[in-house]
Amino acid sequence: MIQPQNNRIPKKVKTVHLIAVCGTAMGALACMLKDMGYQVTGSDNNIYPPMSRFLDEKGVIIMAGFDGAHLAHRPDLVVVGNAVSRENAEVVATEELALCYCSMPQAVNHFAAAGKRQVLVAGTHGKTTTSAILAWILFSAGREPSFIIGGILPNFMSNYRTGRGDCIVIEADEYDTAFFDKGPKFLHYTPEAAILTSIEFDHADIYRDLDHVRDAFGRFIAKIRPDSLLVSVDDDPNVTGLTASVACKQLSYGAKTDSPWQLGQTLIRPPVTHFQVVKNGQEYGTFRTRMIGAHNLKNILAAIAVADHLGVTPKEIAGALDSFSGVRRRQEIRGEKRGVIVMDDFAHHPTAVKETLRAVRSHFSKNRIVAVFEPRTNSSMRRVFQQDYATVFDPADRICVRKPSMLQKVPEAERFSSERLVADLKQRGKDATHFEDTEAIIDDLARASVGGDVILIMSNGGFDNIHERLLETL
């Protein structure tokens, strides 16, 4: 077994090896380390663009598969990704060679966040988007922030930045840290300011139930220092129940009249939404955004509250929002052919699916919306959300559901049924179809799509490159 005493970062580090380097956060960390002057290598089973290209352009040496020989150069430090088990060949080699090792958040804390004011964004939904908005506001205001975020920001063409400023924005994940540390990643950080967007049951492979999830977020809140700030949403009972008696400074945001930060009047004029922000009962400013949906206005409001706390002016915030280009895979239009718009979104949890469809409907009110859904996460492939999914597709005119491609990973008694979901949707009067594979979906959409259709593809994975293949077929 890997030795606990070697779970440390040595004083002198020149070479770092990352096991499972092609994950979004691990890849960002590898690039940050390279930017800082370290010699960086990495390995993974799944090496494919865009992450493989991203790492290669940075000069990170990537080795295919997991093999103890990849550690023959005896790196000063091994960073172990949370997708790796203790039986992994490189973990075994780390033990045999008595190499120092750590988790991804330990490395971020030590190398990227050391000496910086940590600004964390946590919550079941909206973490990536809210982190991205806040990072762009700080950058546009000349604050030179660092950040590490779980999505690509087109404004930077990156999901990380090593800035000269004193702040780092971190998307704070509640998923477990590593096989040797089953606690949530966000417990490793010490925020000066934190945002809490929402709390719902998710990650069924990690958490038993909603109480288990709430307990994790409760520990996160309890770690926030009394002199630090927590900005929390005002309409989520799971959040308000935990934040009712916090020790730190606290501000709430949303639509409630007693919240210090509120959304005021909103006017949707596609492709732009105009909205008013109210601070402590007084108008703070009127802003514009090309992001769509009420959920994104709340994400923006949370980012504004923290930016204001950090000294950014309303004028600077307005300029940043005008130039913010969104986040890849969050209502991202991938292309248009024959008058058919193909849009990509990361939505996979029932709440995310519902809010994404509502957002798209609000901006494409006269178009036919075709929702294409791939249940792919450890939670969505389980029947835990089976009934919930049947109620969240109402804004769509047609729904295409793919059979989960990795269903064999889930015990048979716990498996989600795409056939049952389609049957339940039809019972609600919806036009829904079940598909065994991606090829069948592409063929069907190519035949049935007409000009004006908006095809919204929802998955947290690559979905067999359906977006580009569909556009080519159209």
* 340-345/332-337 β-pairing: antiparallel
Give the amino acid at 340: V
Predicted confidence at residue 253, as pLDDT, reads 97
Q: Is the pTM of this model over 0.75?
A: yes
- Sheet of 15-19, strand order: 61-64, 39-44, 15-19, 77-80, 101-103
What are the φ/ψ torsions at residue 65 (nearest 5 degrees)? 75, 180
- One digit per residue, pLDDT tens: the chain, 474 residues? 678 889 999 999 999 999 999 988 999 999 999 999 999 999 998 776 667 788 888 899 999 999 999 999 999 999 999 989 999 999 999 999 999 999 999 999 999 999 999 999 999 999 999 999 999 999 999 999 999 998 888 899 889 999 999 999 999 999 999 999 999 999 999 999 999 999 999 888 899 999 999 999 999 999 999 999 999 999 999 999 999 889 999 999 998 889 999 999 999 998 899 999 999 999 999 999 999 888 999 999 999 999 999 999 999 999 999 999 888 788 789 999 999 999 999 888 889 899 999 989 998 999 999 999 998 877 777 888 889 899 999 999 999 999 887 777 788 888 888 899 999 999 999 999 999 999 999 999 999 999 999 999 999 877 888 988 999 988
Domains and CATH numbers, the chain: 4-104 (3.40.50.720), 113-323 (3.40.1190.10), 332-473 (3.90.190.20)
- What digits encode the pLDDT tens for the residues 271-307? 899 999 999 999 999 999 999 888 999 999 999 999 9
The count of other CB atoms within 10 Å of the CB of residue 422 is 19
Of 52, 63, 71, nearest to 2 by C-alpha is 71
